[in-house]
Amino acid sequence: MGGTIFDPFAGTGAIPQYFGQKGAPRVYSNDIAPQSSVHYQYDALSRINWECMGDFDYVVTSPPFEVLDLAIPLLLEHTRFAAFVHVPGDYPANSRYRTQVLTALSYSLRVVYGLPMVPGRPIRPCIWLCIFKTRTAERALWLDSDGFRPPPSPSCD
């Protein structure tokens, strides 16, 4: 996966570290916590802060689950191609409105759900939700995937 990768809720930095170890050339991170070792230290839920951080080709992140409904629209607004978001397994179905939105996106082939499969570990109750900015972006990513694999899932505590 070429291009810029951004984790706006980096926390411990596991996702940026994963992509850095896999050789991704441009990986950026943000977290509001002052002890975080990140490129940016902004509140990722503030639209004005995204103007400072800019737009990225891909957003790969695991935000606090209680802010997902606020975070996902901002992630999609500031990604050029796709947002990969680590969510609880029941996230797509535990709200009628959310179910309608994600169903509509899936009909246009702009959303994909993926279970984390880590050899030797049980399946966790979380999934990776991939939302493409456009249908064209979805086709381009899979054609250019070159064996792309999402990072291992963070803890779902």
Tens-place pLDDT, residues 40-51: 999 999 999 998
Within 10 angstroms of residue 46's Cβ, the number of other Cβ atoms is 12
Residue 74: give the domain boundaries.
4-143
CATH number at residue 124: 3.40.50.150
Look at residue 113 and tell me if it is in a domain.
yes
Look at residue 156 and tell me if it is in a domain.
no
Look at residue 33 and tell me if it is in a domain.
yes
Cα→Cα distances 145→24, 28, 58, 68, Å:
13, 20, 13, 26
pLDDT digits (tens, 9 = 90+) for 95-152: 888 888 888 888 776 787 775 555 565 556 788 888 888 766 665 555 444 444 445 5
If one counts the domains in the chain, the total is 1
pLDDT digits (tens, 9 = 90+) for 49-98: 998 898 999 999 999 999 999 999 999 999 999 999 999 888 888 888 88
Look at residue 80 and tell me if it is in a domain.
yes
Question: What's the whole-model pTM score?
Answer: 0.80
